[in-house]
Amino acid sequence: MIGVRSKIWFAIRGSPLIGQGRRDLLVYIDRFGSISAASREMGISYRKAWSSIQAMEECLGKKLIVRRRGGRDGGTASLTDVAKELIAKYDRVAGGLSELIDHRFEEVVKEQGKIH
Amino acid sequence: MIGVRSKIWFAIRGSPLIGQGRRDLLVYIDRFGSISAASREMGISYRKAWSSIQAMEECLGKKLIVRRRGGRDGGTASLTDVAKELIAKYDRVAGGLSELIDHRFEEVVKEQGKIH
DNA sequence: ATTCGATATGCCATATTTGCATAACGCTCG
DNA sequence: CGAGCGTTATGCAAATATGGCATATCGAAT
């Protein structure tokens, strides 16, 4: 019934730079080649995806996405090297933490007590 | 410049039960003997403290605080055994995680790259 | 009965998030 | 060279979450 959840994110001067959701968005953009395809696949609105990218780039002060408007497909988007580095570093810090926390939680919650 | 932050909390059916802030609130209530004294010491409004307690008790379906209105001091508040158990379990799951994450972050961020 | 400081709660202002609608863009193809 | 297409880009309003102010309520001590 009771469970544990966690979040981990990078921040600059207190403002959030990237967490799991934004990290996933970048990966989806890399995979599907456009912001709109990525948002469709993730089940979020294009508006939300675009706002997230805007916030990340403004926070970091560097371009994360190369945008191209026009063309037969209407446009495309791809990741800069900075974005790829950011994903890699986030993954190395956050990787496996959720499993570690779940494991700790199971150890604690299986004990006797009034909470189950 | 860039830093890492994290949160960990218990949840029931998706709704948050307790995180660091609410855990601290319970500890302060235990220490100072009233909700209002606890909120003063924490620098939050009584309204916010009360709402947090309300949300926790409704989420868990058990009383966490014993409230007493009236008396020379106007009233008092103390923790139930359930609340004490909840604090202890939260601390054992969350304890030291922030340091672990900080350590991982330092390892990753000291490397070469475009992000500093 | 009065007093006191705490608990309890309604109400509203503000901030944040979310979704809708639409403009702007530019490559491609006829 | 103009029309068409699907994307990027953005204003705006609705919905939701957050937080503070004001005030009612309570009950033991005196």
How far is it, in rounded angstroms, from Cα B60 to Cα B16? Answer: 10
Which whole number is the average pLDDT over B38-46? 94
pLDDT digits (tens, 9 = 90+) for B55-90: 999 999 999 999 998 888 889 999 999 999 999 999
Q: Which residue of A has its CA nearest to B1?
A: A12
Which residues, at least 6 apart from B102, have a Cβ–Cβ distance to it below 8 Å?
B4
**A23 CA – D5 C1', rounded, Å:** 30
Which whole number is the average pLDDT over A31-60? 95
**A94 CA – D28 C1', rounded, Å:** 54
Domains of chain B: 19-108 (1.10.10.10)
Write out chain B in H/E/C secondary structure.
CEEEEEEEEEEECCEEEECHHHHHHHHHHHHHCCHHHHHHHHCCCHHHHHHHHHHHHHHHCCCCEEEEECCCCCEEEEECHHHHHHHHHHHHHHCCHHHHHHHHHHHHHCCCCCCC
Which whole number is the average pLDDT over A98-114? 92
Closest nucleotide over all strands to A45 (CA to C1')? C19
The percent of residues above 70 in pLDDT, for chain B, comes to 100
Which whole number is the average pLDDT over A51-64? 95
Instruction: Answer yes or no: is pLDDT of A51 > 90.
Output: yes
Which whole number is the average pLDDT over B10-35? 94
Residue whose CA is minimally distant from D6 C1': A74
User: Do the chains contact at A108 and B85, CB–CB below 8 Å?
Assistant: no
What integer best gives the mean pLDDT of chain A?
94
Which whole number is the average pLDDT over A93-107? 95
> Phi and psi for A71 in degrees, rounded to 5?
90, 170
Instruction: Answer yes or no: is pLDDT of A71 > 90.
Output: no
